[in-house]
Amino acid sequence: MARVVVDVMLKPEILDPQGRAVQGALGRLGITGVTDVRQGKQFVIQVDGEITPERREQLHALAAELLCNPVIEDFILVVEEDQ
């Protein structure tokens, strides 16, 4: 078993109105000093068996082609093979 975590974030140059709305709410909570909030997505994927190089490539393709739209988003894929 392996746990694969993919974080997807809007590219820095893409406007993130949701993050901006969250930042606006922080001010209303009385929290100061927050200069920026960006909102993203996290996918947690469970995989049977070992993560072979071939398997890793498949997961990378999954992230690049489905989980993330490369026009507007970047992703980071981390394999946690500790189980």
| CB nearer to another protein: pick between 15 and 78 | 15
What are residue 16's DSSP bridge partners? none
Asked if 80 and 4 touch (Cβ cutoff 8 Å), the reply is yes
| CB nearer to another protein: pick between 29 and 66 | 66
- What CA–CA distance (Å, rounded) separates 83 from 78? 14
Q: Name the site residues for another protein (rule: CB under 8 A).
A: 10, 13-15, 17-18, 21, 66-67, 69, 71-72
| CB nearer to another protein: pick between 22 and 51 | 22
As measured in angstroms, the least distance from the Cβ of 53 to another protein is 25
- What CA–CA distance (Å, rounded) separates 35 from 48? 41
